[in-house]
Structure 1
Amino acid sequence: MRIVVVGCGTAGASAAFAARMLNRNASITVIGDEEQPTYSRCALPFAIAQRLPLENIITFPEKRFARAKIELLKPAVAEEIDTQRCVVRYRFEGAEKEAPFDALIYAAGGYAAVPKIDGADLDGNYVLRTYNDAARLISIAKAGMTAVVNGASFVALEVAEALKQRGLNVHLIVRSRPLRSFLDEPLSAQVKWHLESCGIVVHQGAEIERLEGGDRVSAVVVGGERLGCDFVVHAVGTRARVELARAAGLKIGKTGAVWTDSKLRTSVGVVYAAGDCAEVEECVAGQRVVSALGTVAMRHGMVAGRNAVGAEQNATPFVRATVMRLFGLEIGSVGLTEAQAKNAGIDVATAQVKHPALPHYWVENEDVTVRLVYEKKNGRIVGGQVMCRTGGALRVNILSVVVERRMSVYDLSVSDFCYSPPCADVWAPEAVCATAALRRLEAQK
């Protein structure tokens, strides 16, 4: 059997190794368009912040592909997918070649979006998507410079933090509010305050009108105000890379990414898709979305790889579980925000509490903020948000299971949590928030 994987990111590499685990004899070829083998894109901001060497973020080194007898072609450019002849035409080492396949996994990923504004073509405009993007930022970012970061995403905030930690003056341009896609307004406001308290100048409700300079950016105009700067980093989202897929006749979904079914098959039966180029269904409201998360790229890549060699596995549930640490504050989200739930036609209410992580008498303690989004009719929890100094990821993981298993506020309020004074309070903050929501529901009856 011949398997070809287009893309050597997390989804592509995970697909190749999962296919190899199930089929020891298949011929597996991975076509990657970067100089580096698979690496962690999520780690790029931390390399910029000098918290780890950039070269350390390689997750699947070349020797690992070789040990698994997976042919890795890099840098190689896939130029055409012929689904009639079942071949991929690609360019490698200056020559055009073909790779025949019995099954193809399309994992071409995405690219960083750049806003269409005057001056966006000047030198000094950067994005952060690839290893080389990070290397460029590391080489040019010097202490004392002024940088403008354009965006409100996790990447935007992590880049702002990284540049601040390198000693730069940082302006963050936020069209709406920080992390709007993940947090409701009350927690988003806390994030803004936290950023400002750590020295980031936040321009909320503003957009870059134009970028000024000769050959290189020297200023941005925001809300009529001219801000001098040395460079700009745009972090306004990613777009699915679908040009090859569209030309090959694969169905493109409403999100602009490749349509897939529950087994990650595309509209062409021998072609599967996974990662940032693929459209999937989130499990709360059943909406078609692009996850753009490394966790989903890995899990769905594995499913696509297994199915390409004959398995019939359904894609793992997608609940939008995310977490970040920003200047020491852990911020997490799972499921839908209040606005997203209402836009999906779900009648919801919210509850929010601030509760100590440990008993009140324990000296080394901290408050944990938990916010739940739940259905009014039955108390089903459709989303949750967390903010704390430590343990945020574990709390998001709890809420991820809660949302995926369609638990109600009652279910969470009576769940059995552990307790020990130096480890946890007898009342878990998640359960306290669920109890507050339950009381509101009962009061409305």
Structure 2
Amino acid sequence: MSASSTDPVKKIVIVGGVAGGASAAARARRLSEASEIVVLERGNDPSFANCGMPYYVGGQIATRDKLLVSPIERLQQRYRLDVRVRQSVEKIDREKKQVEVRDLTTGKVYTESYDKLILAPGAAPLRPPLPGIDLPGIYTLRNLDDADRLLAAAHGAKQAVIIGGGFIGLEMAENLVHRGIKTTVVERNTQILTPWDAEMAAPVAEHLKSKGVELILGDSAESFAESGGGLVVRLGSGADLPADMVVLSIGVKPENQLAVDAGLEVGPRGGIKVAPTMQTTDPDIYAVGDAVETTDAITGEPTQIPLAGPANRQGRIAADHIFGRDSTYRGTQGTAVVGVFDMTAAMTGLSEKACERLAIPCEKVYIHPAHHAGYYPGAQGMTLKLLFSPRDGRVLGAQAIGGDGVDKRIDVIAMAIQGKMTVYDLEEAELCYAPQYGSAKDPVNMAGFAAAGVLRGDQPVLHCHAADNCLVLDVRTPGEHAAGAIDGAVNIPLEELRERHGELPKDQKILAYCKVGQRGYMATRLLNQLGYETANLSGGMTTHEHRQQAVGSLPVSAP
């Protein structure tokens, strides 16, 4: 059902702009010309591209105006919205259906009635109560005013410390390096990008180091102090890091106080609980964006993942439902991408460690294809990890790292997850191909081939951490073997294996490996047909090295 001139006039009050609130407001106006729509934004800018702020600080985005997705004048003139900035909503009276608002410029307090209320307060950067945390020179990044302060601080700064190795932390590290600032990232976990599996994040960490970023893992800030006109960050390990500026990027917490005070239900991590229609426990109050608790699209379990795409869709769905449309949120699958200098890391769905935590059975394969045909100039390598159900092959998640084309493959697999597809569907996916864009057998197809081969028994696989009691067979060339091999591996090149397989025992399981898994797969097929019990090391030596970077797995010998 769509809104029309016969619809009852509704007054919609939206608390907060940016992604969720602004998209809800624009959608509501498109559905109803008759409604009064009031947007109350606490900051100075009702609709801006917060994901672009690190690049504004780094100078990649030259002017602040480029970050204004919909300036206030456009929202007022094009959509006829009543947009008010510097307005803090401080109380909801659910019985009277009105909110109490404080004008932060004048101090005036007034009330605003509503028929429907949409909460889009977002999430605030965590600022733990550490000694010295409020000293000048310690910044967070939430809005354009924060970005302006960071930009001003970056001019003249020589060294910076970033606390946190997540999306914003790594993007800030790249952009401060672009400004010539010596940058250190401190992450309390033993890996950066904690939603990723460790072996997939490890090459990104190595890439950061290669670009001059100092990376300290497994340590955390304990206190901050002034020193010689700058700051000193004291770590839990006792180390002191000098800095001209400090950026806190250790996560966010939902801005839920307004909802809590109004008696709306929140989850254990503070997210405002909503139905698929984005209604809270009060049917006249909706909530969208980083402040809400939704469901995981794969597991159906409660989750909180602050991403711009879901926030925009949730705002649209809330407006749809207000005007009688049958629109619901399908859940969040955590599709995300981050650029780290000239490397890209992307993921969708469940990680392996999430499957382990939730006791969800999963199998995995690794592939290392080029992003387009290898014979066409400029082919860049990538690593793609695919997680799937060992029972029916349903795709559970994927992660990829590399250069060009990483985001494209994860987007395709994200759609496969949303469609509840299997690895057999990935085998059959028909994707566009020309040599400068992809391969006739796209990396998505190749991941499907490898995973389906595991399920069919055509390609038994083992992984680096499960190779005990195996005879390890290196089927690479003698030169490759001499340059570095898994400790104790027997080297029989694939091209000689048919003639020399008799050198191998039939009473011991064999783990075959090569550089990326392809020759190991062919060796596995060959030996199993000759009566050996053989498995392929998925992803080959390349994945082994990634895992070794992350957790120090099997030793590698080298001359």
More strand by share: 1
Higher gyration radius (CA): 2
**Contact preservation (8 Å) 1:353, 1:370:** yes
1:370 aligns with 2:384: yes
Distance (whole Å) between structure 1 residues aligned to residue 129 and residue 351 of structure 2: 28
Amino acid at match of 1:286: G
CA distance in 2, matches of 1:428, 1:36: 43
| CA positional deviation for 1:283 | 0.5
Alignment of 1:128-147 (within 5 A): 128-142=141-155, 145-147=158-160
* 2:88 aligned with 1:74: no
Structure 1 residues 361, 311: closer, same or farther in 2, change over 3 A?
A: closer
CA contact (8 A) 2:254 2:271 kept: yes
Question: Structure 1 stretch 37-46 or stretch 314-323: which is displaced more?
Answer: 314-323
Residue identity opposite 1:204 in structure 2: L
1:380 aligns with 2:371: no
Q: Counterpart of 2:59?
A: 50
2:341 alignment partner in structure 1: 327
**2:403 is matched with which residue?**
389
Secondary structure of 1:401 counterpart:
helix
Is the partner of 2:150 in helix, strand or coil?
Answer: helix
Are the aligned partners of 1:110 and 1:238 in contact in 2 as well (CA < 8 Å)?
yes
Deviations 1:58-116 (CA, angstroms, capped at 9, x unpaired)? 11111222121210111111111100000011012331111101110011111100133
Q: Higher mean Cα deviation, 43-52 or 57-66?
A: 57-66
Aligned to 1:25: 34
Query: Does 1:163 pair with 2:176?
Result: yes
Is the alpha carbon distance of 1:20 and 1:161 closer, same or farther for their aligned partners in structure 2, counting shifts above 3 Å?
Answer: same
Return closer, same or farther for 1:159/1:103 CA change in 2, 3 Å cut-off: same
- Quick check: 359-368 or 212-221, which moved more? 212-221
Matched, 1:243 2:257: yes
Could you tell me how far apart the structure 2 residues matched to 1:396 and 1:143 are?
39
Which amino acid in 1 is paired with 2:406? G
Which residue of 2 is the match for residue 65 of structure 1? Answer: 75
Residue aligned with 1:356, SS: coil
Matched with 2:464 is none
3-state SS of paired residue (2:289): coil
CA positional deviation for 1:24: 1.1
Aligned to 1:36: 45
Kept in 1, the 8 Å contact 2:373–2:437? The answer is: no
Q: What is the CA distance between 1:144 and its match in structure 2? A: 5.5
Find the aligned partners of 2:379 and 2:227 in 1 and give their Cα distance: 53
- 1:181 Cα offset (Å): 3.5
Distance in 2 between the 1:408 and 1:293 partners?
A: 26
Residues 31-67 of structure 1 deviation map (CA, whole Å, 9 limit, x = unaligned): 0000122101101001011011122101111122212
Sequence identity, in percent? 27
Q: Tell me the distance in 2 between the aligned counterparts of 1:215 and 1:75.
A: 37
Aligned to 1:203: 216
Judge which range, 142-151 or 52-61, deviates more: 142-151
Query: Which whole-Å CA distance do the structure 1 matches of 2:313 and 2:330 have between them?
Result: 7
Change beyond 3 A, Cα 1:233–1:419: same
Structure 1 residues 431 and 272, CA gap change in structure 2 (3 angstroms): same
Residue 386 of structure 1 aligns to a residue whose secondary structure is: strand
| Displacement after TM superposition at 1:361 (Å) | 2.3
CA distance 1:215–1:311, change in 2 (3 Å): farther
Within 2, Cα distance between the matches of 1:31 and 1:209?
37
Highest RCO, 1 vs 2 (Cα 8 Å, sep ≥ 6): 1
- Are the structure 2 counterparts of residues 380 and 59 from structure 1 closer, same or farther at C-alpha, using a change threshold of 3 Å? same
Q: 1:179 to 1:21 in 2, by over 3 A?
A: farther
CA RMSD of aligned residues (A): 1.7
Unaligned segments of structure 2, at least 5 residues: 1-9, 462-559
Give runs of aligned pairs for residues 268-417 of structure 1, distance below 5 A. Answer: 268-417=282-431
Match of 2:102 in 1: 91
Alignment partner, residue 165 of structure 2: 152
In the alignment, what sits opposite 1:113? 126
**CA separation in 1, counterparts of 2:229 and 2:301?**
42
1:131 & 1:89 partners in 2: Cα distance? 25
Letter in 1 for 2:140: V
TM-score normalised according to structure 2 size: 0.77
Which residue of 2 is the match for residue 6 of structure 1? 15
Q: How far off its partner does 1:121 sit?
A: 2.2
Distance (whole Å) between structure 1 residues aligned to residue 110 and residue 30 of structure 2 = 27
Distance 1:103 1:298 in 2: 18
For the residue of structure 2 that corresponds to 1:39, the secondary structure is coil
Unaligned 5+ runs, structure 1: none
Q: Is the 8 A contact 1:122 1:215 kept in 2?
A: no
Indicate how the Cα distance of structure 1 residues 361 and 215 shifts in structure 2: closer, same or farther if over 3 A, else same.
closer
8 Å Cα contact 1:124-1:216 kept in structure 2: no
Letter in 2 for 1:146: Q
Work out the CA distance in 2 between the residues paired with 1:43 and 1:146: 22
* Matched ranges for 1:428-439 at <5 A: 428-439=442-453
- TM-fit CA distance, 1:21: 1.1
Secondary structure at 1:276's aligned position in 2? Answer: helix
Separation (CA, whole Å) in 2 of partners of 1:233 and 1:347: 39
Once the two structures are TM-superposed, the CA of residue 178 in structure 1 deviates from its matched residue by 4.3
Range that drifts further, 73-82 or 430-439 = 430-439
Query: How many Å separate the matches in 2 of 1:416 and 1:438?
Result: 16
**Residues 333-353 of structure 1: per-residue CA shift (max 9 Å, x gap):** 101110012212211121111
> How far, CA to CA, are the matches of 1:353 and 1:97 in structure 2?
60
Cα deviation per residue 1:318-374 (whole Å; 9 max; x = unaligned)?
211111221011211101110012212211121111112223322321112211111
SS in 2 for 1:149: strand
Give the Cα–Cα distance (whole angstroms) in 1 for the partners of residues 13 and 409 of structure 2: 39
